[in-house]
Amino acid sequence: MKADFKHILYGGDYNPNQWPEAVWKEDMELFDKARINSATVNVFSWAKLQPSEERYDFEELDKVIEMLGKNHKDIVLATSTAAMPAWMFRKYPEVARTDYAGRHHKFGQRQNACPNSPVYQRYAAKLAQKLAKRYGHLDSVVCWHINNEYSGECYCENCEKAFRVWLRKKYGTLKALNEAWNTEFWGHTLYDWEEIVLPNALGEGLEWCSGTAFAGISIDYARFNSDSMLENFKMERNAIRSVDQKTPVTTNLMGTFKQLDYFKWAKEMDVVSWDNYPSYDTPVSLTAMQHDLMRGLKQQPFMLMEQTPSQQNWQPYNSLKKPGQMRAQSYQAIAHGADTIQFFQLRRSVGGCEKFHGAVIAHAGTDNTRVFREVTQLGTELEELGDQILGTANPADVGILFDWDNYWALEFTSGPHKDLKYVDQIHRHYKFFYEKNIAVDMIPRDADFSKYKLIVAPVLYMVHQGVKEALEAFVKKGGVLVTGFMSGIVGESDNVYLGGYPGPLRDLAGIWVEEIDALAPEQKNSVKFKDGTEFTSTMLCDLIHLEGAESMADYSSNFYAGTPAVTKNSYGKGTVYYLGTQPEDCAFTRMMDCIVKEAAVKSLVDERTSLEVTVRKTKENTFYFLINFSKEETVVPQCFAGMQNLLTGETVSRQEILKPFEVEIIKK
């Protein structure tokens, strides 16, 4: 099932239960003025909906739903299950989580339920079904929002028992499990399933290392924790589906959030939604990458479920968004695949830890604010755009492989470099394409690689069964592959592929790596291209032997001076590039420019520009989004002169200037 909205949903989290009913009427008038056409309600109302174990009370929610319907607002209806009522903790303390340090929690905060608690599961499913029976038939309810920002971990006895069941299904025998976890190390051989304990601070945790003595068990626990929460999502979805088979179901994800395998989750969701909260210093390219990742989860448009219209409350430095910035960020989301623009929150809370989180309606309670005027401008523009962009695609010739198993495994492993971070490495490659305005898909390890001319797989540390063969087939047919250091090292249980790195990718890359040198932050190596140009490299340096590949650049310092640092290998009709070290930016750009040229990958616009240029298209139309995220006024590329800017209806002139945060949408 796909979300089939009749217009761009424009609204966000609305909590009328926090306000007297007299305020509700004011809200409806202000929403109309701002062109807000939807509201997400009931996100944290479990305590009010179920004041005791046996009693439910939907009276207030009935009024809210009725009011929104009468005022022609689409409703994204949440199930309220992300924060349990206090009575449940008091009567059933086992519903609470036990943290990594082994402390069992009490009532408080949110995302506070053990995902393997039968009590929590029973009451959450029951509430979801009751909501579906009561409201699922309403035309105004256009989407179900299950739970909220699934996150965290639990290390209680319920989880330990469930983990043992999960492991039995995965491995079948203790012999297979012991081999997978390499329990001969430190004499940890297991002879009974009951001997398995959770990998927390009381077990395999290592403060002085990466956090675990046995990456195998810790990676499996990360998989299990993601699966456990996914089962909770499916449980509520199925409860809704038993009553309502037509309304799409989602839950709000969080970009490159580490704890949950979102590619696996997306298969169970009708539409992906996510919450975008960049900091004051978040690179614009990283935000774009996360949008592309959320689109890539299902290769279809997504919902921007939350963003702030002005400022966050929970970051170290909660700067205001500058005039025009929220609008530019909203169009960036649409450009990369969003079919909704939603805020947290519509009216600013009086108390609690989010009272300083931005809102459409500020504490002043008036429409006479900068933020409200900007929200109104955007709402008016989205209303005029109508449905012409809804459901359009973002075509790309480049795929960047993103894999949660690799994310966990790379950052669990003890060595070789504490500063080696998965998302940083992925983003460095993405940023190159972003700055060149080359469209990118973020893809899983089981994607159809044949759709792309160029696949980029940085730090492909863990190579699962089938990935080697898929990459080989892609390159043999003429594809170009980029990979590099810390790739092809281990299998899916974090055991090293013997015979030389990069293990199963060795033939493909035409090299083998003897050693990996780690450079401290103050250390650098020098590397020389074949034309004599030198550059510096940092982080890691592979000591490479050629096995059919040719060297593009050699180290020119350290004891391994004269050995290859960057290689190129012909394989079938295609080519594999291997970056054995982390080059400085200018050298990295030079290498990637050569790779892009060989792969025949084109920019979305021929002229060099600092504008972000993104494309969404149908068979009939192409929509170009031009956004100025720079601090300088920038000339619009000449190729757009004479075309119409959909946001103003005016014709784009030659030498047209976009000021910082200005946007144009051009239909071609």
What 3-state DSSP class applies to 567?
A: strand
CA torsion, ordered 544, 548, 554, 557, to nearest 10 deg:
30
* Residue ranges in 34-156 assigned as alpha helix (H): 46-49, 59-70, 86-91, 118-135
Classify burial at 464, counting beta carbons within 10 Å of its beta carbon; exposed 0-12, middle 13-18, buried 19 or more. Answer: middle
Instruction: Decide if pLDDT at 14 tops 80.
Output: yes
In this prediction, residue 209 carries a pLDDT of 54
**In which residue ranges of the chain is CATH 2.60.40.1180 found?**
612-667
SS in 3 state form for 165-199? Answer: HHHHHHHCCHHHHHHHHCCCHHHCCCCCHHHCCCC
Residue with tokens 């030498």: 655
| DSSP labels, 36-70 | --EEEE-TT-HHHH-SSSS----HHHHHHHHHHHH
In this prediction, residue 207 carries a pLDDT of 66
Average pLDDT over residues 97-113: 95
Domain spanning 398-599 has what CATH number? 3.40.50.880
Classify burial at 175, counting beta carbons within 10 Å of its beta carbon; exposed 0-12, middle 13-18, buried 19 or more. Answer: exposed
| DSSP labels, 518-552 | E--TT--EEEEETTS-EEEEEEEEEEEEESS-EEE
Distances from the Cα of 170 to the Cα of 138, 176, 177, 180, 181, angstroms: 42, 9, 9, 11, 13
Identify the band that residue 415 occupies on the pLDDT scale cut at 50, 70 and 90. confident
Instruction: Decide if pLDDT at 662 tops 80.
Output: yes
Instruction: Decide if pLDDT at 647 tops 90.
Output: yes
Per the DSSP assignment, residues forming a β-bridge with 232 are none
3-state helix, strand, coil in the chain (%, to 5): 35, 20, 45
User: Which tokens hold the place of 644?
Assistant: 């119409």
CATH superfamily of 612-667: Golgi alpha-mannosidase II (2.60.40.1180)
Average pLDDT over residues 369-380: 98
- Tell me the average pLDDT of the chain: 97
List the one residue out of 552, 613, 598 whose CA is nearest residue 331.
613
Instruction: Decide if pLDDT at 119 tops 80.
Output: yes
In this prediction, residue 208 carries a pLDDT of 59
The CA distance from 346 to 75, in Å, is 14
CB atoms within 10 A of CB 558: 15
Average pLDDT over residues 1-29: 94
The CA distance from 259 to 297, in Å, is 16
What are 277-301's pLDDT values in tens digits?
Answer: 999 999 999 999 999 999 999 999 9
Contact 119, 38 (CB under 8 A): no
Distances from the Cα of 366 to the Cα of 31, 73, 363, 371, 570, angstroms: 12, 21, 8, 11, 65
The CA distance from 424 to 486, in Å, is 14
Distances from the Cα of 101 to the Cα of 158, 201, 202, 260, 409, angstroms: 16, 5, 7, 20, 21
Contact 398, 441 (CB under 8 A): yes
Q: At how many degrees (to 10) do helices 284-296 and 422-435 cross? A: 100
Query: 24 phi and psi, to 5 degrees?
Result: -60, -40
In this prediction, residue 639 carries a pLDDT of 96
The CA distance from 237 to 244, in Å, is 10
**In which residue ranges of the chain is CATH 3.20.20.80 found?**
9-155+220-385
SS in 3 state form for 451-473? Answer: HCCEEECCCCCECCCCHHHHHHH
Query: 424 phi and psi, to 5 degrees?
Result: -60, -45
User: Which tokens hold the place of 22?
Assistant: 């007299």
Average pLDDT over residues 343-350: 96
Within its chain, how far is the Cα of 500 from the centroid? 33
Q: How far apart are the first and last CA of the chain?
A: 30
The CA distance from 265 to 31, in Å, is 33
What are 547-601's pLDDT values in tens digits?
Answer: 999 999 999 999 999 999 999 999 999 999 999 999 999 999 999 999 999 999 9
Contact 199, 219 (CB under 8 A): no
In this prediction, residue 117 carries a pLDDT of 98
Catalytically active residues are: 149, 306
Instruction: Decide if pLDDT at 1 tops 90.
Output: no
User: Which tokens hold the place of 457?
Assistant: 């797989």
Identify the band that residue 356 occupies on the pLDDT scale cut at 50, 70 and 90. very high
What 3-state DSSP class applies to 24?
A: helix
- Say if residue 502 is preceded by a cis peptide, omega within 30 of 0: yes
User: Which tokens hold the place of 223?
Assistant: 């998989």
List the one residue out of 543, 151, 190, 212 whose CA is nearest residue 409.
212
- Say if residue 329 is preceded by a cis peptide, omega within 30 of 0: no
What are 210-263's pLDDT values in tens digits?
Answer: 578 889 999 999 999 999 999 999 999 999 999 999 999 999 999 999 999 999
What are 88-99's pLDDT values in tens digits?
Answer: 999 999 999 999
User: Which tokens hold the place of 591?
Assistant: 């290498």
What are 133-153's pLDDT values in tens digits?
Answer: 999 999 999 999 999 999 999
**In which residue ranges of the chain is CATH 3.40.50.880 found?**
398-599
The CA distance from 91 to 109, in Å, is 18
Please report which helix (H) or strand (E) contains residue 622, including its range: strand 622-627
The CA distance from 50 to 42, in Å, is 12
List the one residue out of 557, 542, 466 whose CA is nearest residue 509.
542
In this prediction, residue 204 carries a pLDDT of 87
What are 159-213's pLDDT values in tens digits?
Answer: 999 999 999 999 999 999 999 999 999 999 999 999 999 999 999 887 655 578 8
In this prediction, residue 210 carries a pLDDT of 59
List the one residue out of 84, 270, 47, 233 whose CA is nearest residue 149.
233
Nearest-5° Cα angle at 417, 414 to 420:
105
Contact 78, 40 (CB under 8 A): yes
List the one residue out of 295, 330, 335, 321 whose CA is nearest residue 626.
335
Per-residue b or e along 307-317, where b marks 16 or more CB atoms closer than 10 Å to that residue's CB: bbbbbbeeeee
- For domain 9-155+220-385, which architecture applies? Alpha-Beta Barrel (3.20)
In this prediction, residue 212 carries a pLDDT of 87
In this prediction, residue 2 carries a pLDDT of 73
Contact 278, 290 (CB under 8 A): no
Classify burial at 257, counting beta carbons within 10 Å of its beta carbon; exposed 0-12, middle 13-18, buried 19 or more. Answer: middle
